[in-house]
Structures are given as structure tokens and as C-alpha cells.
Amino acid sequence: MISGIGPKEAELLAALGATGERVFTTAEISMALSISSSFASKLVRQLATKKKLVRIEKGRYLLVPVEAWASQKYMEEGIIVGSRLIEPSYLSYWTALSFYGWTEQVSSTVFIAATKKKRELLAGGIRYLFVHLRPNRFFGFSEQWRNDRKIVIAEKEKAIVDCLDLPKYCGDITEAAKGLWNGRNEFDWDKLISYALRTENGAINKRLGYLMDALEIKKANVRRELAKHLTAGYVPLNPGGDRNGRYSSEWRVLVNTDPEGLTEWRSH
């Protein structure tokens, strides 16, 4: 028996430890121990008070491993927690750029794409931001391993498409350019184009074409395919910027950011 821990609390901790999972809900506890939801809620509240669990949000908790009980300082890696906060969902945007090693910028926010709306959370100093996607844009993700935990994250090609779709969630268009450049030898370019078209946002093709030229990524067949699908009208390269800048007639893009800023980081 662990000092200060009651029999039922110990049973709960043992059951959680056996699953190998760190994040769980009171509903899952209720089913696992065959107890009422009210009793499950009581148990997790007690264990949270004793610093054996960390509350993430209402009804959802994080198991503190035994080795961290003495220090009482522990928080699971943000992307692992983020993978368990809403279903269905996948990690993307700045979080995916960081996971694939395409940006040196560290964000304290975990970006999660989901088909349901959910308010952002703050837990353990980490902000969890949920990006609501229409069903036709919810695709292009797979299971990956982070240490000994499975996460669901955007495929490399979809990560870039998502960033070009909504650059504000990857920092800005410059971070999207970094991702495109750093991942250029890792992409399945046919898949990237198909994902861009499947998302049904013409702005993605325009931004992709412009950035490929700015970064001097020589993919003639990709350029031709993108050019075939250009929609009418101009789109801002940086949707969060002002409406001042020059126009690229070739890609129908308003270049409303410093063009040199899109590439100067390559020399650092």
C-alpha cells in the first residue's frame, strides 16, 4: 500500500499504469473499474489533490509517473497530450513543422486540427489551440511515434498544405516558406499537389507557386500543374498582413510581405 493512497485509489493508479496511457477521461475510468461516473470523478479529484494526477480540463486528466511523485513537477510532452484532447483530430501547422524539424522556432502552443469546435486550453504552461476544419479538408494524417507514445499528425505534404491554407497557425508565411524549403527533398510532390487541390482553396496553389519561385525550387512539372489550376483573382501572400505590396501576375498573389524576408534566413 502506498502511503496516503487508499485501496480504491491504488487500484485506479494500477489500472492506469497497466494501459500505458497517460491521458484519460473519467468516463474511461468508470468503464475500466466498473464503477459509477460519480465515484470515478471523486477518485480522480482526490488523486489530483494528492498530485498523482494533473487536471487538463473538465473530465480529463494526466497520470503523473511514480518517478515524478517526489518532485511533484511533471507534465507530459504537449503534443502527446494534444493528441488525446479531441477526436477525431490530428496535429498540424506549427506543431507539425516542429515535429518534422523544419523550423527552429519553438512555439508554446500545440495546434490541433479537428472537425469539431473546441475552445483553446491552457494546461501546464502549454496552450492547446483547436483549428476547426470542414470535413472535406480533414485528411492527410497518420500515426507516428513520439518517444514511446503514438500521436496522430499531418503527413509532411498535408502539413505544408495546411500552413499555406492558414499561415497564421504556423507563425506566418515565412515559417511556411521555411517548411517548404526544409522539406523539399522529403515530399511526394504528386501527393502535395493532389492534397492542395483536394482542399479546394485556390489560394494554396497560388502561394505554393509563388514560394517555389522565390525559393528557387526547380520543379517544372509541379509549376505546370499548379498553373493549370489557378483560380481568378488575387490572394494575399500573408493573409494576416495589410493590403499594401506588389502584385505577382504570374501567380495572382499580392506580395504583402518583404520578399527578401521569405528567403534571407537561408544565409544564417
Residue 51 pLDDT: 83
Residue 62 pLDDT: 86
The phi, psi pair for 57, rounded to 5°, reads -160, 180
Architecture of domain 7-68: Orthogonal Bundle (1.10)
Residue 70 pLDDT: 59
Whether residue 149 contacts residue 82, with contact meaning beta carbons closer than 8 Å, is answered with no
Residue 76 pLDDT: 63
Identify the burial level of 113 via C-beta atoms within 10 angstroms of its C-beta, where 0-12 means exposed, 13-18 middle and 19 or more buried: buried
Residue 149 pLDDT: 83
CA–CA dist 268, 258 (Å, integer): 17
Helical axes 189-198 vs 202-214, angle rounded to 10°: 150
Give the containing element (helix H, strand E) for 91: strand 89-91
Residue 264 pLDDT: 84
Which residues in the chain show pLDDT less than 50? 1
Residue 68 pLDDT: 61
Residue 135 pLDDT: 93
Structural domain boundaries in the chain: 7-68, 78-267
Residue 102 pLDDT: 95
pTM of the predicted protein model = 0.86
